[in-house]
């Protein structure tokens, strides 16, 4: 995780990339790899030569004194991971969701407000943000406005987006002139600015 503080990590696991490759070659199903060490929470996919990348969950710290380079970018957290066994078996990919809770002295434990691991997110979606934007634009052909009731089927897919996939979706929607009101990874409404201004 060189992006965390930009310094050479002298404690990095030697052969970590090779370990992920060997896990993939074992061909026993999708992998969830959980690690810590950096006190920096993130969720991503590992590199793969096949069709099923491992899910890499970097857990933050539960109760560390965070070092200066990262203390403004992460928080002490705990997580609840839920694996959707049925979707995992039917897609051959690890599919699930997470919840993150952060700690501070003022609020105690509370739903995370971190950009890196927000309160809710997921992993294992097979639907790209580009595809979802096309679906949303089709829904907007007959109306300039969609609320959460109109977006139920879209939200079902977003629930399995990683935080970076959700940010990508928001960026693509912005490029199409769509205003999005959201809370965490829950889209509350979408407005087509071009239609609403006409």
Long-range contacts at 15-18 (CB < 8 A, ≥ 24 apart)? 17/47
Tell me which residue of 124, 102, 10, 109 sits closest to 57, measured CA to CA.
Answer: 124
- 158, 187 in Cβ contact below 8 A? yes
Series of mean pLDDT values for 10-residue runs along the chain (198 residues): 52 71 81 80 83 87 75 82 95 94 89 86 95 97 94 96 95 96 93 70
**Please, what's the b/e burial string for 164-197 (b: 16 or more CB within 10 A of its CB; e: otherwise)?**
bbbebbbebbeeeebeeebebbebeebbbeeeee
Dihedral of CA 70/72/76/82: which sign? negative
Strands 108-111 and 145-147: unpaired
pTM of the entire predicted model = 0.83
How many Å apart are CA 117 and CA 97, to the nearest integer?
Answer: 12
pLDDT for the residue numbered 55: 93
- 45, 32 in Cβ contact below 8 A? no
pLDDT for the residue numbered 194: 72
pLDDT for the residue numbered 197: 54
Q: How far is CA 28 from the centre of its chain?
A: 24
How many Å apart are CA 168 and CA 130, to the nearest integer?
Answer: 9
- 94, 30 in Cβ contact below 8 A? yes
pLDDT for the residue numbered 89: 94
């Amino acid at each position: 995780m060189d992006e965390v503080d930009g310094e050479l990590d002298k404690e990095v696991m030697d052969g970590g990339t090779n370990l992920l490759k060997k896990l993939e070659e074992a061909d026993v199903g999708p992998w969830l790899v959980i690690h810590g060490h950096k006190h920096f929470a993130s969720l991503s996919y590992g590199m793969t030569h096949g069709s099923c990348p491992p899910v890499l969950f970097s857990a933050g710290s539960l109760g560390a004194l965070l070092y200066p380079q990262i203390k403004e970018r992460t928080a002490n957290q705990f997580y609840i991971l839920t694996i959707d066994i049925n979707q995992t078996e039917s897609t051959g990919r690890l599919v699930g969701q997470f919840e993150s809770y952060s700690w501070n002295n003022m609020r105690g434990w509370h739903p995370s407000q971190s950009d890196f691991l927000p309160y809710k997110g997921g992993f294992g979606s097979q639907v790209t943000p580009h595809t979802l934007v096309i679906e949303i634009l089709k829904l907007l052909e007959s109306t300039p406005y969609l609320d959460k009731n109109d977006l139920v089927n879209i939200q079902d897919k977003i629930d399995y987006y990683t935080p970076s996939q959700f940010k990508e979706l928001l960026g693509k929607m912005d490029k199409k002139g769509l205003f999005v009101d959201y809370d965490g990874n829950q889209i509350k409404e979408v407005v087509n600015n071009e239609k609403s201004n006409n």
